[in-house]
Structure 1
Amino acid sequence: MGGRFGLSDKEWAMIEPLLPNKPRGVPRVDDRTVLNGIFWVLRTGAPWEDMPGRYGPRTTVYNRFVRWRKAGVWERLFQHLQSDLAASPYMIDSSAVRVHQHGTGAKKGDSETEETGRSRGGLTTKAHAVTDRDGRVAALKLSPGQDHDLAATYDLLDAVPADTVLIADKACDADAFMDALAERDIRPNIPNRSNRKEKRGFFPSLYKLRNAVERFFSKLKHCRRIATRYEKRADNFPAMCQLASARILMRS
């Protein structure tokens, strides 16, 4: 049952123990079939209404996706798969996600929680990630598209082990950020800004390893539901990102 969309037996064995207990005496679509439908939507980017009937009623698949999100299934799966990350160095970066017109229309006052914002590319959400040297994601966070990268980067540092080299671009070359790294015993390998008076040590050969986090974003955006944001709900889009990241981890 593997293939492009469906779960392999190995992947199903990882997810099944995390699912809530099935209600007794109630006929229902098989959980594995529903998961395959969720991954079909995630990979193709198609509307839930266009999901093939072989996965069950689209309302059943969508409702179970939301129910499992509320139960913390996607977050637990994401965290469970991070137990086998590689050692130093780690990388941090961000990537913009264009928001489709169907991903807009939040209730008044909810725009901040939806993590959307208007930048030069239009309405966007920014995804921030920390990966190990093999491109396996350690943490993921979303922010409005117009926010500076550093605003969200601080929140990702808890995923970086102490006594680790962290590779990042010039956007992270700020004194306050360097202080935050020092407090956590994290060693930066970040290019110096041209206006920095006291230059820090920087190793260009080590910096080349940063393409690991770029490869992660490339794989993440193979899922068209992530490459373009269609979810207007602030809680559903992060869940899609967690699920896509978990799929990458399961297959790496």
Structure 2
Amino acid sequence: MSYNVTSGKILRAVHPTTEETMIIHEISDDFWCKVEPLLAPFKRTKSGGSPPRDFRSILNGIFYVLKTGCQWHFLPPCYGSKSAVHEHFQRWAHAGVFAEIFRLYAQEYHALKGIQWEWQAMDGTLLQAPVRGQPVCLAEEGLGRNPTDRGRSGSKLHLHVEQQGVPLAIELVGANVHDSRLVSPTLALDVLPRPAPTTEHPQHLCLDKGYDYARVDTEVAEKAYVPHIRRIGEEKTTAGATTQPARRWVVERTIAWLKGFRAIRTRYTCLGVNFRALVDLACALILSGKLEAACS
């Protein structure tokens, strides 16, 4: 049997040696058709040696690791050699392939459904990062002492989403970096160019109490946003008063979508570029799933 899970299929198969039921994760045919041209430059051009592994099988193996959070060492043999899959993953990650897949799907979503820029939101989420072989928390790898986890190694993902929760940018930093310091760095990573707001079509940015600083107000205003920041100690609006609908929840939902991928929920990837690649792939799969749901 098969069914869609986050733009992928899960097939139940029988392992040929142990006769035990195992789960095989596969990307959808539509996803592969869009990604295949980006992987064409990495095909082997010289003859000799063992036959090259099919790139779709390798990408399925990467998807399996992303979805299950397993170590590369325990990758099922149906995806090929674990060392070959990991080697290709690192090559593609350092070449920016996964970032390009994210950008490609964001462009397709904008073309088919349209990015809703009127109401945007931002928030961050902390991740445990018990990476081995790392004696110190390296800021350049997106690691830092987690103040909410007794100073253990941790990371933070800071998200910028549009009105429907579609991810526009994700910044990776150490867990000790405050959310209020990440507004401009995250906006600079948007995968799509932001249209200029006008008087008729203003753009609102919704933030929680963690951004309640005068410098954030100034920073957001300089970016031509209408700020909506929940103030520390602010009382709830009295009954009968006119209020705006809650808008911040969409970013929390997108964070939940991302943490549905176990390799993101807890970070075991030492190199920041590799972890960013997994996050970019997860964002592309989220967008792919939304597009496939809209077309079904």
Shared topology, TM-score over 0.5? yes
Change (3 A) 1:6 1:43: same
Amino acid in the other structure paired with 2:38: L
One-letter code aligned to 2:244: S
Tell me what 2:68 maps to. Answer: 44
Instruction: Report matched runs for 1:181-196 at 5 Å.
Output: 181-194=220-233
Q: Which moved more, 1:70-79 or 1:81-90?
A: 81-90
Alignment-derived partner of residue 210 in structure 1? 248
Match of 2:9 in 1: 3
Question: Does the CA contact (< 8 Å) of 2:27 and 2:60 recur in 1?
Answer: yes
2:134 to 83, 106, 110: 106
Cross-structure match for 1:23 = 44
Aligned to 1:120: 148
Distance in 1 (CA, whole Å) between partners of 2:161 and 2:67 is 22
Contact persistence 1:128–1:141 (CA under 8 A): yes
What number of residue pairs does the alignment pair up? 242
Q: Does 2:82 match 1:55?
A: no
Kept in 2: contact 1:125–1:143 (CA 8 A): yes
The amino acid across from 2:67 in the alignment is: R
2:94–2:273 contact (8 Å) kept in structure 1: no
SS at match of 2:124: strand
Deviates more, 1:55-64 or 1:7-16: 7-16
- Cα deviations across residues 40-92 of structure 1 (Å, max 9, x unaligned)? 01100001111111100001100000011121101111122222122321110
Match for 1:131: what amino acid?
A: V
Q: Structure 1 residue 145: deviation in Å?
A: 0.8
Following the alignment from structure 1 to structure 2, what is the Cα–Cα distance between the partners of residues 47 and 104? 12
- Deviation for aligned residue 1:8: 0.7
Contact 1:162 1:184 in 2 (8 A): no
AA paired with 1:166? L
AA of the residue aligned to 1:185: A
Which residue of 1 is the match for residue 185 of structure 2?
Answer: 155
| Residue of structure 1 aligned with 2:218, choices 159, 172, 179 | 179
**With structure 1 as the length reference, what TM-score do the two structures score?**
0.89
Q: CA deviation at 1:161?
A: 4.6
SS at match of 2:272: coil
SS at structure 1 position matched to 2:182? helix
Moved more, 128-137 or 153-162: 153-162
Is residue 91–residue 213 contact of structure 1 (8 Å, CA) maintained in 2?
yes
Residue 166 of structure 1 and its aligned partner are, at CA, apart by 0.6
SS of 2:33's equivalent? helix
Give the equivalent residue in structure 1 for 2:169: 139
Q: Report the aligned-residue RMSD.
A: 2.1
Unaligned stretches of 5+ residues in structure 1: 196-202
Greater alpha carbon shift after TM alignment, 150-159 vs 216-225: 150-159
**TM-score when scaled to structure 2?**
0.76
Q: CA contact under 8 A between 1:81 and 1:246: conserved in structure 2?
A: yes
**Which protein shows a greater Rg?**
2
The structure richer in helix per residue is: 1
The answer on 1:96 being equivalent to 2:126 is yes
Aligned with 2:102 (options 59, 75, 78): 78
